[in-house]
Every structure is written in structure tokens, then in C-alpha cells.
Chain A
Amino acid sequence: MKTTVLSLKNISKIFETEELETHALKAVSLNINKGDYISISGPSGCGKSTLLSIMGLLDTATSGEYFIEGSNVSELSLDQAAEVRNAKIGFIFQSFNLIDELSVFDNVALPLRYHSDKPSSVAIKERVTQCLEKVGLSHRVSHKPNQLSGGQQQRVAIARALVANPAILLVDEPTGNLDSKSGDQIMELLEQLNKSGTTICMVTHDPRYADMATSKVQLLDGSVLQARLSQIAV
């Protein structure tokens, strides 16, 4: 039996302004099991990124319950959420979000610096090197992000996402800022990672890449339109 990594129950998100109330997500329920590779797709404004933000504890839901590896994370404080994010979630953003002032090594090591276990410098070095090898960039440790190509920067971002051994990788439009060749290489890398056991949840509007996932979820106007039965929480 597969272990549930992440479980959303009736998650809703309402954005409120003085005049307007926007229902970005409407009672979304979703289960992600260990080893899954799920793509979430849909038209612009359907709530894909909002859903991913909530799943990554970058944002909070208006209502509903959310579990990561069985623990309820719906009502965490900002600092508790940071701790869970650090330990359980790896992020890959469309615009890489690397820190220009830090070297490739330091960018990748960043999650370990905030880790509650306070790993030693030796352990950090070992782990960072391992992850950079995994993405094929072990020869670029001292470079600054702006000295790298877009594809290389996204690989650094993937290494950073993997470094703390997260339960799941949350990937937001990973190829949006890349040319098609680099995009394909990144997608290949993600596929390999999944095959080696990494759980991935990816937001994309590119049907070609969405098809590369083992399961597909389609969002429309904040609701799940279509998903494989096993992924809809019962």
C-alpha cells in the first residue's frame, strides 16, 4: 500500500478586496502518494499557482484541512510553517529564485543552514556536492547564478530543492523561463528524479509537459475538473 505524502481536504481560498471577493479555490481535495508524479494544469487564472502555494505552505487556505505525512498543517504559525517547509518541501520556481549574491554552493546549501538539525559544515558540503552531482553541476560550485545559463540556474534550483531530502518537490512552471531545449532537459531531469523515488507535484500549462507526469489534475475556475479517481480524496 502506498504512503500518503500530502492530503488536501476541501481546501478553499478566497481573496478579498474592499469591493470584490474572488474564489480562487473551491473545495479542492487531493491526495499525493509517495513516488507520485502529478501535474496540475489548466488555463491562466484557474488557481494552479494558488493551490501550489498552499501546498507549499507559502500561503494559507481560507478553509479546509491539509495534511503532510499525516500531520495536520492547516493551522501552523508562520515559523512552524517555515520549519515544515524546510524539512518536507522542495520548491522549484519558474524564475529560479536564486540569490544573486550567493555562490551556487551557498544557494544550494541555504535550506540546510535553516535546518533544525543544524548539520555540520562537512555534512553540508557532502550533501550539497551530492545534489549538484545529481543535476550535473558539480563543476560550477563557486559560480554566481548570473554567470550561468537559464537551464543551469534551474538545475541549481532543483539541487536546492533536493538538498534537505524533502517529502515532495513542488514545481511551478519549471520551463516557463527557458528555451525549449533547456526546458526538455529540465523535464528529463525531473523524470529521472521521479523514477529514482522522488515525489513530484508540478504546475504547468504546457500539455506536452503535463503528459510527462504519471497523473494529471485539471483545474478550472478553482475546482478540480478531472483527475484520476485514486487522487480524489474519498
Chain B
Amino acid sequence: MNLFTYQLKQAWLSLKKKPGFVLSVVSTMGITLGALLCVLTLAYVMLIKPLPYPEQARLYSVEHHIVDQQGESEYVHFDYPTLIELYKKQKQFTQGSISYYSEEVIRTHPQQPSVNTAFVTPEWFSLLDVPMVLGRAFEATEGFNSQIPVAVLSYKTWQDEYSRDPNILNKKIIVNDVSYSVIGVVSSSFIEPQLGASEGNTQLWLPWSFNSISYKNDWWGSFTRGLFFIGSLPDDISSSQVSEQLRNLVINLLQPIVAGDESFTVDDIKIITKTLKSAILGDTHDLIYMLLIGVVGLTVIAVSNIINVFISHAAQQRKNISINAALGARKSQIFSCLLAQASILMLGAVILAIFVSSFGFTILTQYLHEFLPRVHELSLQIETLLTIIFIAILFAFAFALLTTNTLNYQSLNNELNNSGKGTGIQVSPWLRQILIISQIAIASALVFCNISLMLDAAKTITQPLGYQRDNLNFLSLSISEKGNSDGDSFDAKFALLNQVKSKLLALPQVEAVSTAESPLGNFMYLAIRDVSSNTDYQAYTSFGDERYFDIIGQEFVIGDNFPPQNKQDRDQLLIINDVFAKKLSPNESPVGRKLDFSSDGTNIFTIIGVVKGTMEPGQNEIPMRMYAPSSTLAAKFLIKTKPNQLLTREQVISTLNDVSSLLAVSQFGSLNDTHKNIVMSERVTVVTAISTTILSLLLAATGLYGILSYSSQIRRFEIGIRMAVGAKSKDIILLIFRDISTALVVGVFSSILVLLALYLGFSDRLTSYVSFELVPLFFITLILISLISFIACYLPLRQYISKPVIHSLRGSE
């Protein structure tokens, strides 16, 4: 057996006897290396790894920007006609594809699911070389202008909605009244490019010609979200040349159209051609670099902590080390012995890191795919794993080397003879103080920042919005146009919706139904003119019927509710909130005032009531809002269920089917679930901040424990002597705690300086977080840090104060 193998065996045996030491090193380094592995992999996938498409380097995305006077982009969306003309007339790309992403309902499915749908031209599949598990992708014949109704399903849709039906091909699915024939299923290995709102999780592909865009051919300047152009460029042309040429193309098209329009000139248009990779990455570079800096900082803290723990451990082992030195072990052999221990511990840490990073990948994929592109591609990469192993080896060497260097080899030989006079391992007291101060400063700053982030996010989650959400569900319907001739369309629809309402009300679990938009839905931002003062205002607008305010518990301040809705009642009435009322008419009731929506007196509404304002999640101010009576043909409902009763999507669908086969659910969910989704990023922040706080405290505790355990060890005889002359446990604890109290105070002041520096450096971003509420929070942080310091003081002392004094004195004689 060679010496290192022997030393590995000895190290293993020795480590088995020190589970606390092993646990602190392996857990700290495992979690840290895991976080490092996770972030490095993320950075690798996002910044370095090529896209998973053949010829990915030639793939480009074209963006249509409208810039303001400073040249800054105001909109980055295409309008429909421009995109079409670009697709038809461009000559630069060898192949180009246009796509539109939206959400559609599959009516033929029993659950009528809303699915992410992409309307694409056939080139989309060939550019990305989409692998198919069944059937085929779109062909040239199913291109831009064709009206062949075919559909391709994603693997997940095939699996979740059709239970991987092997006979799915040629089956019919109905979307927007069109019956499509399924021609293929995309393979599960396909990773879709995450462009804009698409989020890379398309469930259904339909031919471009069937797209559901409302503003099409003549709507120049109507910018629509979800429109994209991607294409493949030959090598002999640069992206900037392409951008210039495409801009000229667009300007030539637009020039005659915008002539005479003062509000818009072609100078405002900018075309940017960027690689598909950078288009997907968007502006997340900064986030990645921030994450990298954060995780490197975490690693530095963890490593400095573990160095302390190692030195402390070496101090405990000094007798063994001294015996080895006395028997002729060279310094290099002592290093090799310590390296064996460090290697075993780092191996454990790397194994734990792999688990931690896998957990991190799951969290990132599950919760942060909206913020981070390409997270779906996250998996353990051999490149980053090797980097982590290399870093772990470096750490093992560093720990062993630093520990060996703190051993005073010269004095080791005297150690056995002269054990009463100091030890062979000495870390200077000022270095110990600096280590304690840095631990406390970093931990206090981190804990404080994280708790304030957490409280801020928790405040948004629990913030009262001015109405209640419990037992409320929102239902939006789509009504097929089939079967309705133009003449009786209004009456038929009115009857249909009334029937829906009655049927829903008849359900045993339903308490009330209101025809209304969800209070968590999108309020339109509309311009209006106060007729009496001729002043223009802009306010968020929604609609509801006479039951709306009662159902959501929004109180009236003054005036009346809408009258009961009926077919003939087409009054132009308006209810506004108190914030708008105050703005509109600060000194008297605004009831009776008239607001013009058309600016030419053709669409005038009368204010009949004022309600208390409601808040939007995450906002600090109540916005100006107004509510119009819901149209008799509005297919949106708020459904209130009885307490503790549940209304499922299936029950709603079956109720609708009882009424008519023309109805489909386009959106259904409880307001609480919708609210949860809206505040998802805050919920992720809470979880992340709690984890980081715990991690910071754990790291600080490990680090302080390492230093203080070392301090206690070198003061072991002193502690023994004090106890021998009558010191009690509390005297010893107070003695040690008093010694670190200076470091504690300096550490806390340093953290205040760090926080101040942060505030001054990023004051524009942090102003909204800073308030007097942070003062008690800072005290909570101080209490936590003091508690951690006290525990870190007490634990190493326990071995001395809980045993007869002779244990501390033994060896001094």
C-alpha cells in the first residue's frame, strides 16, 4: 500500500470519529458547490452552449423597433402588414419563417383545454429541424396562403390530452370553428426557441393562414405581440447589412401610407437582425452576471469559513500531528495526510453538490422559466461538472496547504515536551478578529437584505386589494359563430348567455353569477373627456353588471349601482372609483357628470356612483378606475360559490354543453389561483430569500463556530485554570462572549457601512425598499446574528464546561 492510500484509509478512520466536522464541511461545501454548479451550468447554457438546431449559427431573428426621439426603443413588435410584406419580399434570407403565438381552445377535447398555439409557415419546422415522433411537419403546400387545415401536436399535448393515442394521426380537432386534421406529433427531444411571449412551450402548431390575429391587412402601425420572423442567412452577408436592407424595404412600403401623418415618420422605424441565440437571450446577460457574482461571493464566504473549520480541526489533531512530526514525518508528509482528509471531504461535497444542483435545475425550470431563457435545456453538463471537480480539487489542496502553513512545524517537535506552553498551531489574534468581523458583517448585510426582500414580497402577496377573492371564479367563454345567421345573431347570443347564467346559477354549489370582467383581469387604459370642464383624463376601465360590486365586496361611497341588466337597457352609465372622483371633482359629488369617450360628443357616459378604489397586486397606489355596465353580449362571468364548495372546469364544461355545443371555455379559474400566478415572482422571491437567509445564517454559524472553536481550543488550559480557581459555566461563557463582543459590534457597523454603500451605489433602484420599517428589521437581524454568535460561542465551550475541570487541565501537567 503506498503512503497516500494508507493516509486515505487513516483519514477515513479519523473522519468517522468526527461526524460534526464532516457534516459542517460536506454540507457547507456541498451546498456551495451545488449552487456554483447550478449557476455555472445556467451561464454555460445561456451564454456559451450552441442552440440545439443544425446550422444554428446561421439562424437570425428580425426585430421591428419603433424608437422615440432619443433613439430608444418604445415598441419591439411587428404590425401584421409589415411582417407579411417582409416575409414575401425579402431576398436576404435563404429561408424565412413567420409565426404568431396565442392561446386557443381545443373544442373537440372533453376538457376543452386552452393551449399555447403557434401559427407558423412550414419553413419554421425545416429551419429548426423539428424532430417528429409521429407523422410529419407542415409541407410547402401548407404554406402562407394555403387553407389546408392541418395540425401538429407537441409531445406533451399528445401525452397529457390524448394519453399518447397511437392513432392520433388524421383525427380531427376543432379550434376557432375550424376542424384540423392532426398530421404529426413533435418529439419530446425538441427544444423550442423561447422567443418573446412564446416561452418555448407551444402545445399546438397550426398553419399561418388560420391565425387568429384581429388586426390584419390594413392595420399598419397596429403593433401586435407574438409576431416573429426567423430565418437562415448565408455567410456572405452581415446582420447589419440585412438590417439596413430590410429597413429600406419597410420604409419604401410605409412611405406612401404614413405621408401626412404628423405623429409618425418612417425615421422612427428601426430593424434589428440578431442571431437567434442572442434574440432568445434578450437582456438577461446582466442577470446571469449578477447570479455569477452572487454565487462567487457565496463560495468565498463558504471557503473562508471552511478554512477556519479546518484550522480548528487541525488544532484538535495537534497531538497526532506532533507525534508524526516527532517520529520523522516531513512537512510534505503532514500536508499529504491533511490532503487525504480534505480530498475525502471534497468528494462528499461534490456528490452532494450534484444533488443540490439537480434540485436547483428543477426549481429554475419550474419557477423561473419566464425570467430565464433556455432553462429547459438545463441538465448536468460534463463541462461544468468537470469545472466543479477541478475547483473541488483546488479547494482540497488549498485547505490542506493553508492548514499545513498554520502549523508551526518547528515547534511541533517541542509540542510533546512542552505542551503546557502554548500550541504548535497559531493563528494570530488580529486575524481571528478580522475573520469574526467579516463573518458578522457579511452575514448581517446578507440576512438584512434577504429579510427585507422577503418582507417586501410577502407584503405584495398578502396585500389587501380592497375586494375579496375567496370563493370567486372567473369564466370567459368563446362562442362559435356557426349556426347564427347575421340577422338573429344578437338575439340568439343574448338568449344563449342568459341561459348560461341561469344554468350556472342552478348549480348547487353556485351562490351568485355576475356578467363581468375579472377584477384581476386587464383593465383597458382609456382616454376620456370631462364634458363640463373639457378636461382630458386617462383611467383604467372595466365592466360589470349590478351584482359585480356586491359579489366582490367593493363598497359604494356615494350614488347608485347599475340598474338590472336587460336587453333594452342600453344606458351609457358609469361608476368611478374614489381616486378618480377626487381628481375629477375634488369638492363636490361627481355623480351626474358626463364623460365623453369619443372626444366628439358621440359617446357620452353619465356617472351614477362612486366606489372605493381597489389595488392591483404589487402596486402601492390605487389607480383611477371606472366601470361601465357589461354588454349584454359579454361572455365573461364572475361566479361565486358557496363556502367550502368547489366548481371544477369539467362541471362548467358540462353545464355549457347542456346549453349549446357552440360554447367553449376559453378561460376558467379561481381568483385566488389567478392571484397566486400574478404574484408568482414574489412567491419565488420569498422562498429564495428564506433559503438564502437560512444559508447565510448557517454559513455564518459554521464560520463563527470554526473560529470560536479554534479560539476555545487554544484557550483550553486558561479555561481549565479559571474553572479550577472557581469560575462557573456562566463566567466562562461570558468571558468568551465578551471577547467577541467587540468584533460583533465592529462587524455590525461594517455591515451598516456595506448597506449604506449599496444604497448609495444603487439608490435609484433601492429607494422604494428603504423606509423606517427597516429599523426594527435591522434589530431583528442583529438579534439573529447575536444569537448565532452566542450559539457559536457556547457550542465549542460545552466540552469544557460540561465535564469535570480535570479534562481541560489534563495535558498541562
A-side interface residues toward B, CB under 8 Å? 49, 53, 56-60, 78-79, 81-83, 85-87, 91, 93-95, 97-99, 101, 110-111, 114-115, 160, 164, 172-173
Contact = CB atoms under 8 A, between A and B. Distances in A.
A78 B807 CA distance: 13
A108 B812 CA distance: 19
B755 interface: no
Interface stretch (B26-34, B121-129, B798-806): B798-806
Interface stretch (B49-57, B518-526, B542-550, B718-726): B718-726
Contacts, number: 73
19 contacts: A58-B804, A82-B726, A85-B724, A85-B726, A86-B726, A91-B725, A93-B809, A93-B812, A95-B812, A95-B813, A97-B721, A97-B724, A97-B812, A99-B722, A101-B718, A110-B721, A111-B726, A114-B725, A114-B731
B809 A97 contact: yes
Contacts of B720: 97
Given A49-B813, A97-B717, A114 B727 contact: yes
Contacts of B802: 78
A114 B726 contact: yes
Nearest to B717: A97
A86 B804 CA distance: 15
A82 B728 contact: yes
**A-B CB proximity, top 7 nearest:** A86-B726, A114-B726, A59-B806, A95-B420, A111-B725, A58-B805, A58-B806
Contacts of A110: 721-722, 725
Given A86-B726, A97-B809, A78 B801 contact: yes
B729 interface: yes
Contacts of A81: 804
B813 A83 contact: no
Contact of B804 (A78, A95, A111): A78
A151 B717 CA distance: 20
Given A78-B729, A83-B726, 19 more contacts: A49-B813, A53-B806, A57-B805, A58-B804, A59-B804, A78-B804, A79-B729, A79-B730, A81-B804, A83-B728, A85-B724, A85-B726, A91-B724, A95-B813, A97-B812, A110-B722, A114-B722, A114-B727, A173-B813
Contacts of B813: 49, 93-95, 172-173
Given A59-B805, A78-B802, A97-B717, A160 B812 contact: no
B728 A99 contact: no
A53 B724 CA distance: 10
Nearest to A177: B420
A198 to B, nearest CB: 17
B724 A60 contact: no
B715 to A, nearest CB: 9
Interface centre among B722, B725, B802, B813 (most CB of A within 10 A): B725
Contact of A85 (B420, B725, B731): B725
Contacts of B729: 78-79
A87 B721 CA distance: 15
Contacts of A160: 725
Contacts of A87: 726
Size range of the chain B interface in the assembly: 20 to 34
A99 B420 contact: no
Dominant secondary structure of chain B at its interface with chain A: helix
Contacts of B420: 95, 97
Contacts of B809: 58, 93, 97
Given A58-B804, A59-B805, A93-B813, A99 B726 contact: no
B725 A58 contact: no
Nearest to A164: B726
B621 to A, nearest CB: 60
Contacts of B731: 114
Interface centre among A49, A114, A115 (most CB of B within 10 A): A114
B530 to A, nearest CB: 81
Given A53-B806, A78-B802, A95-B813, A58 B726 contact: no
A82 B812 contact: no
Interface centre among B729, B731, B803, B809 (most CB of A within 10 A): B809
Interface centre among B726, B801, B802, B809 (most CB of A within 10 A): B726
B750 to A, nearest CB: 26
A57 to B, nearest CB: 8
Nearest to A114: B726
A173 B731 CA distance: 29
Contacts of A114: 722, 725-728, 731
B733 to A, nearest CB: 12
A79 B805 CA distance: 11
Contacts of B804: 53, 58-60, 78, 81
A173 B420 CA distance: 15
Contacts of A79: 728-730
A110 B724 CA distance: 11
Contacts of B717: 97
B724 A56 contact: yes
Nearest to B809: A58
A86 B726 CA distance: 4
B713 to A, nearest CB: 16
B453 to A, nearest CB: 43
A91 B805 CA distance: 13
Nearest to A88: B726
A82 B806 contact: no
A59 B806 CA distance: 6
Nearest to B807: A59
A94 B809 CA distance: 12
Contacts of A172: 813
Contacts of A58: 724, 804-806, 809
Contacts of A60: 804
Contacts of B812: 93, 95, 97
A193 B717 CA distance: 28
Interface in B650-668: none
Interface string B776-813: 00000000000000000000000001111110010011
Contacts of B724: 56, 58, 85, 91, 97
Given A95-B420, A97-B721, A172-B813, A115 B806 contact: no
B725 A86 contact: yes
A87 B726 CA distance: 8
A110 B727 CA distance: 9
Interface centre among B720, B722, B805 (most CB of A within 10 A): B805
B80 to A, nearest CB: 83
Contacts of B803: 78
A232 B724 CA distance: 27
Contacts of A95: 420, 812-813
Nearest to A146: B421
Interface centre among A82, A95, A101, A115 (most CB of B within 10 A): A82
B695 to A, nearest CB: 36
Contacts of B727: 82, 114
B414 to A, nearest CB: 15
A186 B331 CA distance: 42
Nearest to B418: A95
Contacts of A91: 724-725
B330 to A, nearest CB: 30
Interface in B701-723: 717-718, 720-723
A123 B610 CA distance: 81
A59 B813 CA distance: 15
Nearest to A80: B728
A25 to B, nearest CB: 13
Interface in B722-754: 722-731
A30 to B, nearest CB: 19
Interface centre among B722, B724, B730, B803 (most CB of A within 10 A): B724
B740 to A, nearest CB: 16
Nearest to B727: A114
Interface centre among A83, A97, A99 (most CB of B within 10 A): A97
Contacts of B718: 99, 101
A115 B801 CA distance: 18
A94 B813 CA distance: 6
